[in-house]
Structure 1
């Protein structure tokens, strides 16, 4: 039962919860940039949270369904149209054979997630259906979706009319605070440089994709030192090390970059802090121009935030009566 891609939107791809366990050999986890929104979309249509969905940044695709199924759209706020008539986000709805799903202009957030009952049935690669376009594997033929693609889905079923309550839906703001755990290389900053990182307002630039999100703002001050053998001459250079997903590096002391789901696994820039895992969902829903502050938290606070995120998913399951 394929879904035809009439228009692909902008860099739409198939994603699930990702393929952890291969970062040590240079393969990033990939997966939905906003794991929370993707999980909610799946639960709405009766899938397990790790089923494959379509992720579309900034601009939604146009789809035609060959068979009846149940669909849900979550994530960014963007008008959803079924055969030209509005349908709600964060609620499952039925589609018939020949129906067309299209989208209006982005209103808030950055990425929408489209789930269908049974999930998008693309091949599993290294335990995941997620697209890693830079590596050319996973998803649909190892690439972003194109006009004319016929993407199979896993089957019928699903229950229309399921709704995520308003109080459980995220609010997308143009002013955000991102919680970070400082290190491993924040000692490379002077006290003034560290204060600048944490006390300044940063603006997300148009360079914002699944690999990394780049921010503009003031220039950071680095401690002076003789660079060690194997490091470059830039004060932000280090001898090559592994990069955690969510880590923040600042080449040249300007324009911090948050490494995201498709980031390279290592390199020669100092990692000054790491965005906590649950706030990477918030990063994914930031569009260019979003005003951002970094807020330092302890590892214990980060773990409590992770537990709160797991509780949010449990509350969504309970609200939907989901058994998956």
Structure 2
């Protein structure tokens, strides 16, 4: 078990999401940055879909009530275990009574805490991902107690906890530092005139404070003279253009359909990179042929 002593800015349980439930109007959800979450799980030998804690900008303080092993990937939040500094992308043993703290953010936006076997929370529609009105809670709260596998339940955990080969895995730092995001042309891209198309690929867009798990927005506008369209399918990574000229990049908690022109589509890698950008960051779009 893991007790939440103090919550961060926005902490949730996430896995790879509710694939196959969109016909019921349920968003896919899941981890915003699949690259970082998969890295944490792979270091522990977990399945890629094992549930993790996703934290935004500022993470929680957690007390472990059973033995396990952990790994944190993604954003750098100056981790400490019982006041001792920890590195990201490294497997560490954790004992009953240990306290893990996420501290000041120094790189990225979202961090991912994995434990051996994944967090054992409720499953709704094939996923443990928290989402309002689907799961009992949509964020973690102070005082919550989260189930995990105890070391007594598997010999593998005990073996890994006693191992001293906690080597670090090198990650691609461009995942956090690159400002260029690869995109495909969306279904309505050709409806834009050449001036609008050029502006899309030659503007450094500033990420707005209004950005969240549902969508990212920008401070700059693109003049929009497109006609309205019939509501159509959208996906995480779809870039919509509103009548007022606002660009909206849909993220993991996005709706299933939308009525705004879909002018671009981020690659999966670009969606992961976007999830690590904080408000005030600049990004540019690079077309993929």
* TM-score with structure 1 setting the length: 0.82
Does residue 280 in structure 1 map to residue 260 in structure 2?
no
Q: Number of paired residues? A: 280
How far, CA to CA, are the matches of 1:95 and 1:165 in structure 2? 19
Using the TM superposition, give the Cα deviation of residue 221 of structure 1 relative to its aligned residue in structure 2, in angstroms: 4.5
Structure 1 runs (4+) greater than 3 angstroms displaced: 160-164, 167-171
For 2:139, the equivalent position in structure 1 comes to: 144
Partner SS for 1:206: coil
Change (3 A) 1:190 1:168: closer
Using the TM superposition, give the Cα deviation of residue 164 of structure 1 relative to its aligned residue in structure 2, in angstroms: 4.2
For 1:165, the equivalent position in structure 2 comes to: 169
How far, CA to CA, are the matches of 1:186 and 1:170 in structure 2? 28
Map 1:101-140 → 2, pairs under 5 A:
101-133=100-132, 136-138=133-135
How far, CA to CA, are the matches of 2:91 and 2:196 in structure 1? 48
Does residue 294 in structure 1 map to residue 280 in structure 2?
no
Deviations 1:102-128 (A, max 9, x none): 012111110000011121001221111
Partner SS for 2:74: strand
Using the TM superposition, give the Cα deviation of residue 252 of structure 1 relative to its aligned residue in structure 2, in angstroms: 2.7
For 1:193, the equivalent position in structure 2 comes to: 196
* TM-score with structure 2 setting the length: 0.91
Partner SS for 1:258: strand
Aligned residues of 2:224 and 2:242 also touching (Cα < 8 A): no
Partner SS for 2:246: coil
For 1:71, the equivalent position in structure 2 comes to: 70
Deviations 1:54-99 (A, max 9, x none): 0001101110000111111100111001111101111010111111
How far, CA to CA, are the matches of 2:32 and 2:43 in structure 1? 19
How far, CA to CA, are the matches of 1:191 and 1:148 in structure 2? 55
Using the TM superposition, give the Cα deviation of residue 239 of structure 1 relative to its aligned residue in structure 2, in angstroms: 1.8
How far, CA to CA, are the matches of 2:221 and 2:252 in structure 1? 26
For 1:211, the equivalent position in structure 2 comes to: 214
Does residue 57 in structure 1 map to residue 56 in structure 2?
yes
Taking only aligned residues, the RMSD between alpha carbons, in angstroms, comes to 1.7
How far, CA to CA, are the matches of 1:109 and 1:33 in structure 2? 12
Structure 1's unaligned 5+ residue stretches are 224-234, 299-324
How far, CA to CA, are the matches of 2:238 and 2:182 in structure 1? 12
